[in-house]
Structure 1
Amino acid sequence: MSANPSKPKESVERRNKNLLNNSEQEFVASRRKTVLQSLKKLKIQCSRKEVPNIALLGSGGAQRAMVGLLGSLVQLDKAGLLDCILYLSGVSGSTWCMASLYKEPNWSTKLETVKNKIIERISGPGVSWGDALTKLKKYYYGKDFFSLTDVWAVMVVASIVKEIDEHTLTEQRNQHNKDPFPIYAVIDKQSKQSNDGDPWFEINPYEAGYSLSGVFVDTGDFGSQFHKGSKIKHQDEFDMLYLQALCGSALGDEVAIKNDMWQKIKDFFQNETILEAMREDLSGGKSPLISSMKTEKQYIKRFAMDVCEDLSSRSNIWQFDAGISICKCMAEWIWGRKYNFLHNMTDEAVNSTLLQSETRDYIDAGVLLNSPYFSVLREDRDIDLIISLDFSEGDPFMTVRDSAETCKKLKIPFPEVKVPSDEGKKPKDFYVFKGQNSPTMIHIPLFNAVNCGGKFRSYSCPD
């Protein structure tokens, strides 16, 4: 990446669709030379102008996606293909792998060593309660908006990745000139729920912003307060632990959770035995099912209260205040809240809903689309080939089908996706989708008939 990173501009930048950030342009020019040499080693001849721009995407899937992406990258390296990758982008669990990799300068040149360090760490002891509480205190006092993402980072993500990484993305500038360019993807919660604006949001070491609208701010300033495009109040840059929580906060979308729960309830109650149990309960009977549901509801409520009471009852005043704040965040379900760097700007090319509110909330992109297609489908990135790694448990073609449908509506070039209906339950190990004037895509489901030895019964390989 750029040897002399520019000082944060402290202002919002809007660019035409065919123009990348200067630092990214420099990186792409340098990386394409590496790709060219890698292709020559593979005996694939092409001119410098013909070098393909290849993006590797990692889907969500929690720790399974973290380990799955790591293993996939190791295999690409062994096959001599890793240096062909220009961009590496992920959502949710895949970003946990990316964060671990990019801690190491030029990790792709020593991937076997880096892989062993990661495996050793996640197999080792977790973060202590004392360290977690100390980190929560730093989050509580370190920003204007404290949210459930801070709690999630300390209590859940740290326990999964087995560390508290306090480095920042901007510190990685200049450290990865031999690695693919990293892009972390989240979504704008309000845009997703209102179904307007541009929900797709990307974060890289240089800038953060809306992928399709083309408006960005320096990553070091993302979270600071802006007015009409100029920074008026600085907030310190969030660290890598918080970024992993931001990318992996699927619980942040209460609408999606409620819809999913409601569908499960409807499916559940289609069973005649259960319906009969409901009738008995409503007529004065003592149905174990209904009693169980009541107990579960009470448990959830009790758990929320216990979290608040535990922190509020401690002697330190900050713990009392934090407990109250957590209760408020839980009541309003506040995740990933940041100052809106587009607040009060005037830009006819940007949806007006993105310009009005003082704050925006950012959450796990997987609740909208479980793969970061839209971070690499920007016209200015000019991607020729997308390698899509799908680590999800459900329909292995859902993300690619949804992307194709959305791209059609937005008039974004995307290959036609045709999959035989009977292959949804027993997919092959890879699929190639091609289209005119669109990137070619190789889609690779983790759970497939080849990986699972022909004994594929569900979305997990048999023991």
Structure 2
Amino acid sequence: MRRTLRWLQLGGRQREFVLTIALGCSTAALYSAYQRKPLYADTGNATGSWNGKSTVVSHDDPSRASGKDDKRTTTATLKDRLARGPLDSGPPPPPTKGHSVFDAEGDSPSDPLQAWQYATERVAAASGNFSNFDTTSLREKIKGLLVPKWIRQLPDWMNKLQNELSMAPWSLSWEIWEEAHDPEVNPEIIWDARVRVGQDLCQEEQAFLKKRQKSTARALAKYIGVPETEVDPEDVPTIGICGSGGGLRALVAGSSSYQAAAEDGLFDCVTYTAGVSGSCWLQTLYYSSIGRQNFLRIINHLKDRTQVHIAYPPALLSALSQAPTNKYLLSGFVEKLRGVPDADFGLVDIYGLALAARLLVPRGGLRVSAYDLKVSNQGFYTDRGTQPLPIYTAVRHEIPDAVGDVERLAKEARFTTKHYDYFQWFEWTPYEFYSEELDAGIPTWAVGRKWQNGDCIWRDNGLALPELKVPLMMGIWGSAFCATLSHYYKEIRPILKSSGMSGLDTLIAGKNEDLSKVHPIDPAVIPNYVLGMRDRLPKTAPESLHSASHLQLMDAGMANNLPIYPLLRPGREVDVIIAFDASADVKGDNWIRVVDGYARQRNIKGWPMGAGWPPQSNTQHQTVLEVEDAQENSPARVKRLMTPSERERQDPPDLGYCTVWAGSKEERHEYMDEPVPRQIESPDDDWHLTSPNAGIAVIYYPFMANKKVPGVDPMESDFLSTWNFVYTPDQIDKCVALARANYEEGREQTKRTIRAVWERKRALRLQREEEAHEFARSWRVKRGTAHLRRNGDVGQGDQFT
């Protein structure tokens, strides 16, 4: 312990000197051993006494034993010996005569002075070896082996980055901030904006729907194989595709699924695409100069860019310190730090920076486009209705303060205020940033500026801040690590239970309500656009929104890993939802089933209640045990246990590669009853889709193992983990092949479903037209009869009338 403390007390240079000496001594010893001549056991003396003595090797010539050598002769002899090297073919040294150089016959110095001279000569020779040894080169070699090159370059990178962000004149940050005040670079800084309050869609989206309807009519005719003249734009089903979260797994698998749909002609019939986490990254790439609205191009781009981890320092620091990528990536961060000083700059922002450096930079890093940095610029591809409208999602975790008088609150605010934690959904489109719960939104190009009373706050120079950049958005959309402690515990709970820590598991599970309110990592923030709008917001708006200066947003997968809620928004009137679920545990999470609660809360008609992975019904023995162990054995409870909602199917099979459910607009079951979903399993069940009262059709594609792609299983393959950020080209090919194989399994069923929905809408339109025609005809008849009666009553008619 004393030696350890003494070592810690040494300074940095002292430690380096000591280590150099120690390494030098060790190296010299190895060098000396390597240079020695071999010992030949050719002496005629008895060897029995050797066992008790230590071995001594002599490199001295016989002339040294006579004591007549001077210092010059000794040095010359040593140099000659060193020059000859260990592989010299000269005669071997004489055999050892004793165990000590002074015990050897004829080798003892004649007097103490000669002995001292002899000893000092040997020390001088050893010192010469040390003086000729290059310790500096050895230290560099050892440092190169132990310390990576990028760590040695880290100070230079950091100094360069610090200089660029110093806001000194003509530095990178100074240039970015100057362009933030230039309307030619950022025209939105001179545009005025106000908060729009209402449940209807914004005008830009309504105009998009009209144009997209004409485009999808032609695509639908080609997809289902009918003449274009038979497809009326009014009959075209509004189709929404949603991709799940799941990091790079969702990004790669989603690219393959969308590509398969595009090759089949289905993607051209789609009106909306919605994403969570990795699927948001996919939409960003699709509407960029990298993807160019081509999913094959995106897949090839991922093969080039995902072989290196997003947080690998050399690649990240190189992108941040070299042009043109440094300005491309850092512009949004400089604008946020300078324009909104009170906004926190945290881990999510750095995460978004790393994501953009890896995914939004093409190979080589020279073809970056600043046009890709704004979500509002994606309207260039959707304004004419030639591409689907992308929807990006995030959530805000509302955690109310602890209530005091629960009974009074239950009476006064029973139906207006929520007293439990929940997630609020927010959505981005190229046109608007909106929250359905708040019934309020702002233009997408105005996200990032400050707000008060529904108006934006202009800066002192009379300008507004530019739009919040995509790298910051990517961090928000994919910030799954901002989960609560409850979410983290779900990840490690199987490990605890399998390790025999059931007691600890029970203890932690009992605190789940408290754990669900704690976020170890703070979410990212954007300015609160509803600040000061208490009188214009719904009464259900949480109290914290009226005082918070910023909104804390995170990955929408905290609430539901499938972005179905935005597709159910009134006004969008989606007829078919195609869900590509690449979640970590598609069966265990069962995100489709979670939508039932949202549909009940929002009173959404047409959603197929009960859709999702079927729960396994209890066996008869388990049911009997539940009845016997029940604390209250009322007849109603016994009946509920003995006749579950799945009694029609004792053991419902798991879902396949493609499952279709049909909703209904008829009166639903009672709230507490478990609905039986209407699953379309064969063409004979298509009448559920063509019925006049049919609701939303849901087509579900889970990302799971397929025999056609052996060796790839999302539940077992390590590279398909959500937290894996390194994919080789071979792994991408395997993931792409699996997603494509799953789509092929349900390709015909999907086409049959969409055709059935089109036929239903077509029949309803023809029926409405027939009814309108009949009404007009009867109205004209009645009008003519009334005219005759009126003329007869007043006596103005003649005999011809």
Structure 2 length-normalised TM: 0.45
Instruction: Tell me if the contact between 1:122 and 1:162 (Cα under 8 Å) persists in the aligned partners.
Output: no
Report which stretch shifted further, 42-51 or 155-164.
Answer: 155-164
Provide closer, same or farther for how the CA distance between residues 272 and 209 of structure 1 changes in structure 2, counting only shifts above 3 A: closer
Establish whether residue 366 from structure 1 lines up as the match of residue 623 from structure 2: no
User: Which residue in the other structure is 1:53 paired with?
Assistant: 238
Residue 337 of structure 1 is aligned with which of 501, 504, 525?
525
Mean Cα displacement is larger for which, 62-71 or 149-158?
Answer: 149-158
Distance 1:270 1:458, change over 3 A: closer
CA contact (8 A) 2:397 2:422 kept: no
Write the distance in 2 (CA, Å) between the matches of 1:96 and 1:424.
Answer: 36
Q: 1:174 to 1:162 in 2, by over 3 A?
A: closer
Asked if 1:421 is matched to 2:619, the reply is: no
- Paired letter, 2:532: N
Alignment correspondent of 1:404: 596
Q: Does 1:209 align with 2:434?
A: yes
- Seen in structure 2, the aligned counterparts of structure 1 residues 272 and 116 have a Cα distance that, compared at 3 Å, is closer
Measured in 2, the distance between the counterparts of 1:55 and 1:191 equals: 32
Instruction: State the one-letter code of the partner of 1:335.
Output: P
CA shift, 1:405, in A, is: 2.4
| 1:260 equivalent in structure 2 | 487
* Cα distance change on mapping 1:350 and 1:174 into 2, 3 Å: farther
Indicate the residue corresponding to 2:196 in structure 1: 13
Once residues 337 and 376 of structure 2 are traced to their aligned partners in structure 1, the CA distance between those partners, rounded to angstroms, is 22
- Equivalent position SS for 1:77: helix
Please tell me whether the aligned partners of residues 223 and 341 of structure 1 are also in contact (alpha carbons under 8 angstroms): no
For 1:26, the equivalent position in structure 2 comes to 207
Find the aligned partners of 1:200 and 1:93 in 2 and give their Cα distance: 17
Amino acid aligned to 1:70: S
Structure 2, unpaired ranges of 5+: 1-187, 363-367, 402-418, 459-463, 505-518, 617-650, 666-694, 721-730, 735-801
SS in 2 for 1:435: strand
Q: Which has the higher contact order (CA 8 A, sep 6+)?
A: 1
Q: Please report how far the alpha carbon of residue 103 of structure 1 lies from its aligned counterpart in structure 2 after TM superposition.
A: 0.5
Question: What residue is the counterpart of 1:326 in the other structure?
Answer: none
- Kindly indicate whether the alpha-carbon contact (under 8 Å) linking 1:185 and 1:201 is maintained by their aligned counterparts in 2: yes
In 1, Cα distance between equivalents of 2:573 and 2:249: 30
Same amino acid, percent of matched pairs: 21
Q: Distance in 1 between matches of 2:709 and 2:295?
A: 26
Is the counterpart of residue 458 in structure 1 residue 691 in structure 2?
no
Cα distance in 2 between the residues matched to 1:119 and 1:90 = 22
What's the offset of the Cα at 1:429? 0.3
Cα deviation 1:136-191 (Å, max 9, x = unaligned) = 56354454313322111123553466568752112222233321111101111336
Q: Which residue of 2 aligns with 1:352?
A: 541
The change in CA–CA distance for 1:211 and 1:122 in structure 2 (over 3 A counts) is farther
CA distance 1:130–1:27, change in 2 (3 Å): same
Q: CA deviation at 1:30?
A: 0.9
> Which deviates more from structure 2 when the two are superposed, residues 417-426 or residues 149-158?
417-426
Distance 1:197 1:368, change over 3 A: closer
For 1:333 and 1:111, locate their aligned partners in 2 and report how far apart those are by CA, in whole Å: 33
User: Does 97-106 or 394-403 show the bigger shift?
Assistant: 97-106
| 1:256-295 Cα deviation digits (max 9, x unpaired) | 2x11344556654445755799xxxxxxxxxxxxxxxxxx
Tell me, in whole angstroms, the C-alpha distance in 2 between the residues paired with 1:106 and 1:26: 25
Structure 2 distance, partners of 1:211, 1:386, is 19
| Aligned residue identity for 1:407 | A
Assess if the C-alpha contact under 8 Å between 1:211 and 1:374 holds in 2. Answer: no
For residues 320-370 of structure 1, give each alpha carbon's deviation from its aligned partner in whole angstroms, at most 9, with x where no partner exists: xxxxxxxxxxx9843221211001102252533233422210111011110
Which residue does the alignment assign to 1:82?
Answer: 267
2:316 corresponds to = 128
User: Structure 2 matches for 1:234-253, cutoff 5 A?
Assistant: 234-253=464-483
- What's 1:445 paired with? 702
**Alignment match of 2:571 (pick from 377, 380, 383):** 380
How far residue 204 of structure 1 moved from its aligned partner, in angstroms, is: 1.1
TM, length-normalised to structure 1: 0.76
Deviation at 1:128, TM superposition (A): 3.3
Contact 1:395/1:424 (CA < 8 Å) preserved in 2? no
Residues 8 and 398 of structure 1: CA distance in aligned 2, closer, same or farther (over 3 Å): farther
* C-alpha distance 411-452 of structure 1, shift in aligned 2 (>3 A): farther
Quickly say closer, same or farther: Cα 1:85–1:392, change in 2 above 3 A.
same
Residue pair 2:591, 2:612 contacting (<8 A) in 1 also:
no
2:450 aligns with: 225
Output one character per residue of 1:395-441: Cα deviation in whole Å (capped at 9) or x when no partner.
Answer: 34621111122322332232121543369996410111111134211
Distance 1:192 1:364 in 2: 20
Q: What is the aligned-residue RMSD (CA, Å)? A: 3.6
Q: Which has the larger radius of gyration?
A: 2
The whole-number CA distance in structure 2 between the counterparts of 1:400 and 1:342 is 31
Higher strand share goes to which structure? Answer: 1
Report the CA distance between 1:452 and its aligned residue: 5.4
Report if the CA contact (8 A) 2:274-2:391 is conserved: yes
Q: How many residue pairs were aligned?
A: 401
Could you say if the C-alpha distance between residues 59 and 271 of structure 1 is closer, same or farther in structure 2, counting changes exceeding 3 Å? closer
1:394 aligns with 2:602: no
**Is the 1:96–1:161 Cα contact (8 Å) retained in structure 2?**
no
2:251 partner amino acid: M
Structure 1 residue runs of 5 or longer lacking an equivalent are 278-330
